[in-house]
Amino acid sequence: MSVRISIHGKESALTEICSVRVGQTLFGVAITHIVEIVGGAHPQVAPLAPEFVGGLVHYRGEVLTTVSLRQLLGMARREGPQDILVLESPGGCFGLLVDSVSEVLTVCSADHEANPSLLDERRGALFAGAYKLREGLLIMLNTERLSPEWLDSECVDRARAMA
Amino acid sequence: MDELTREFLIESQEGLDRMERCLTELEERPRDAELLGDIFRSVHTIKGTTGFLGFKRMERLAHVGENLLGLLRDGKLLADNAIITGLLRLMDALRGILRTIEMHEHDGDGTEAEQDSELIGLLEKLQRAEEVVVVTTDVAEPSLQAEQASSALPMIRGAQIRGAQAVEQVIQDADTAPVPVSAVARGTTASDTTLRVDVVLLNRMMNLVGELVLTRNQILQATAQDANLTLLSRRLDMVTADLRESVMRARMQPVSNVFSKFPRVIRDLSQALHRKVRLVMEGQETELDKSLLEAIKDPLTHAIRNSLDHGIEPPAVRVASGKDAEGTLKLRAYQESSHVIIEVSDDGAGIRVDKVRGKAIERGLITAERASQLSERELLQLIFLPGFSTAEAITNVSGRGVGMDVVRTNVEKIGGKVEIDSRPGKGTVMRLRIPLTLAIIPALIVYSLRQSFALPQGALSELVHISPDRAVSAIEWMEGTPLYRLRGQLLPLIFLDRLLCPEVRAGGLDAERNLFIAVLDTDGRRFGLVVDGLANPEEIVVKPLSAVLKSIGVYSGATVLGNGELALILDPGAIASRVGVTIRIQEDRVGEEAQADELADGMASRYLLVESAGRRAAIALGEVLRVERIPRSRVEYLGRRPVLNFEGQLLPVEDSGGVLAAAGSDLDAPVTVVVCREGSRQVGIAVSHVLDVAAGAELYEAGSRQRASGVTLLRNHVTGVVEVRDVPPLPASCDLELESETLA
């Protein structure tokens, strides 16, 4: 959902972004990518699963694999209920596990800036730049690269590169 | 692909399936006008539609076929072997084109024209054979006419038609006219009451019903207190159960869908192998989930090939051994509680057990020592090991050492079981036990790492409990490999918590906790899975896992338990492979460890040693299915006979020891019932305790070489053997109502 507007003669677009919080950081996912938001979930741990898997949840008769943004960014596992964004990927739906979902923000493309070159390679792949808001930065997530299939193949690639 | 083409593909496929069935029947009844009419219509419909849709290649083939079939239908030609072979080839070619259309949306790019014209040439030649046939049948015609007339006459007389002229007239019309009418009538009724539904939609419905079941469970819990809602929620409960049943039924298809392929397979094979085989099929209306039906097609074909190649002998051999030159292959399907049993039996040469043993030792699949301990039945099951084949020569059909192990792997993959029984000279029976549906399986819920896991019942053979005080001593270690002595044989153990959470691996056993060993049997590998706790068995709805979790190779799916908790379903085969349990290692270890006294006795046979009202008795282990420990109140009475109601099946309970009476009026007192298999029925034997499993030795009457029957030597005691077959069956009439007076 975007609207084109003109500010100071510069063409720019308005986009609605769902903001989510992990630790102290505010992340954003374009609402057009979100299938559904499930609140207060207790994912079931799947032993032996790759590190980024946050567990399994029951979602509309299916068992959904979740990707924990926390574990993906190397933060500690969190106890207690968490919120889930249900996203679509070529391999089917998956859940993105975040600490909590906050409000939907309308942002302007003029405030967007690409990833800084300082960012490490992994984060650079997962992030799609940031919006400079008055309250701070809203880091955009590259939803295509958050799917378990993509992350799994990336894990394999990294292991191969190390060997 | 547009709707019209898709419709055409499905319809044509069905038409060809029908044609295949009719063609093999036609071989036996080449004059059957109804069959010919059916086949003609199938090809005619295909020709008509292809012309309309512009599939020229297919139209040409169907056209030639239609001409030939027209001649057959009009009785100008007799369907002999050559013609049927030609028509079968036509059918294969049409199937091939349908596949091409499905993949490329056109019916070939002209390169196939050559092979088409060869087939067309053949079919045209068969048509011209008409002239030859007509000449020969000219002589035969009068007698044929007479034969038909004499058989038709009584019926026609009944229809009150008088006069020889009129009769002759009717006979001539009878060949063609009445049959299509009845057939057309059948066709319309079938299409009026049935509907094609996409399997994807059915799967979705199945999922939603599963979801509904869960929601219902929660509502039932929430409304338990409120009297007003109880009635409503009970109604919801019933409707949900009915709905689930109906959706499952919608996915069911009769086994005839698979069976109908076999007449052709057998026809081709018996010609290639020069055998004479009569195929008998029973229970074709038995229904099975569609996905399972697909999965058993290959194993059944393998089994049939084996029966024809190794089982049924060439006609000359059969006659020499006093059998009918024509062998019988029987396919039988029937339902037994939550399983469908499919039997492939033949009256061929049977399997010689000594040959199986010799071959297994020669191939290094088993040690000679170990082989000497196995019963004949157990030896027979060796043919399911990979790399086993007794065929002297490798034929086109079988003998490459693949086959039986493929049968077993495929059947186990869908949670089924295979067993084989054979009598030398009499024949072989192979039995496939297939669960009714894949979507819902019985499973045992186990705990480990404070989490629930589901273990499919199919692989589970027994459970062992080790109390905290025995835990340290009961588990022995061989260079870091934990082992448990199960009735004197070493069983490799896998700790589920260490497997799933490698950090736990360090350190030995922390004592003072209960351990449960689930003894699993999969692909011929046997191992014990150690878990922290057991919960009730549950019927679980299997949900697929994402590729990431499936690739771990430990889980086969996930499920939602009755309390709403998620549980991963463990895959015993994958766990065994992951840890490296192999058939060979286990076999060797068993050989080393076999107990000396058992060896000395020659391991005549094994018995379950039970105590019944103070007396010891033995039950042959081969007959024991399972041991149930149930509250006394579960036993009900049918007249004076104690019976058990198991999942809707009635089990007669033998209580000659008076165990039930001894339990007295305490309805909660547990009683132990040994469930045994006797032929095709099951019976229960009430006992006080199950003591042990031991090998029995035969006893002979003093001064004679006559084997004493009904007794055996167990642990140096003469012990009476319970004859399961002496338990009288329940009364056959079903009108005897089950009185549930639970002896108060």
pLDDT for position B234: 80
Give the pLDDT confidence of B17-67 residue by residue, as tens digits: 888 888 878 877 887 878 888 888 888 888 777 777 778 788 888 888 888
User: A46 — contact with chain B (CB < 8 Å)?
Assistant: yes
User: A159 — contact with chain B (CB < 8 Å)?
Assistant: no
Type of residue found at B494: I
pLDDT for position A41: 87
User: A47 — contact with chain B (CB < 8 Å)?
Assistant: yes
Inter-chain touch B551–A152, beta carbons under 8 Å: yes
Give the pLDDT confidence of B469-508 residue by residue, as tens digits: 887 788 888 877 888 888 878 888 998 988 888 776 544 5
Mean pLDDT for chain B?
A: 75
Q: Which among A58, A61, A148 is the nearest to B546, CB-wise? A: A148
Q: Is this prediction's ipTM beyond 0.90?
A: no
pLDDT for position A3: 65
- Minimal CA separation from A28 to chain B, in Å: 25
Contacts of B545 in chain A (CB under 8 A): 63, 65
Contacts of B559 in chain A (CB under 8 A): 63
Closest residue in A to B210 (Cα–Cα): A61
| Cβ within 8 Å of residue B68, ≥6 positions away | B77, B83, B86, B87, B123, B126, B127
Are the C-beta atoms of B46 and B40 separated by less than 8 Å? no
pLDDT for position A85: 94
The yes-or-no verdict on residue B592 having pLDDT over 50 is no
**What share of chain B in percent tops pLDDT 90?**
4
d(CA B664, CA B478) in angstroms, rounded, equals 48
The yes-or-no verdict on residue B143 having pLDDT over 50 is no
| Beta carbons within 10 angstroms of residue B502's beta carbon | 11
Contacts of A45 in chain B (CB under 8 A): 451
Quick check: helix, strand or coil at residue B252? Answer: strand
DSSP code string of B508-531:
S--SSS-EEEEEEEETTEEEEEEE
Segments in B29-163 forming alpha helices (H): 33-53, 56-73, 81-104, 113-158
User: A155 — contact with chain B (CB < 8 Å)?
Assistant: no
Burial class (CB in 10 A: 0-12, 13-18, 19+), A31: middle
Give the pLDDT confidence of B229-285 residue by residue, as tens digits: 878 888 887 888 788 878 888 888 889 888 988 888 888 888 888 888 889 999 988
Q: Which among A47, A61, A65 is the nearest to B449, CB-wise? A: A47
What domain range is A26 assigned to? 2-162
> The pTM is what?
0.54
pLDDT for position B338: 67
Inter-chain touch B566–A58, beta carbons under 8 Å: yes
Domain count, chain A: 1
Using the CB atoms, write b or e for A64-81: b if 16+ within 10 Å. bbbbbbbbbeeeeebeee
pLDDT for position B482: 86
Q: Which among B214, B548, B554 is the nearest to A50, CB-wise? A: B548
Residue bearing the bigger pLDDT, B455 or B636: B455
Inter-chain touch B207–A92, beta carbons under 8 Å: no
Kindly indicate the confidence band of residue A76, based on its pLDDT and cuts at 50, 70 and 90. confident
CATH of residue A84's domain is 2.40.50.180
pLDDT for position B572: 86
Q: Which among A47, A56, A61 is the nearest to B208, CB-wise? A: A61
The yes-or-no verdict on residue B140 having pLDDT over 80 is no
Kindly indicate the confidence band of residue B333, based on its pLDDT and cuts at 50, 70 and 90. very high
Residues in chain A: 163
The yes-or-no verdict on residue B388 having pLDDT over 50 is yes
Kindly indicate the confidence band of residue B192, based on its pLDDT and cuts at 50, 70 and 90. low
Contacts of B569 in chain A (CB under 8 A): none
pLDDT for position B738: 43
Give the pLDDT confidence of B595-654 residue by residue, as tens digits: 333 333 333 467 888 887 777 888 887 778 778 878 787 888 877 788 887 766 778 888
Closest residue in B to A66 (Cα–Cα): B546
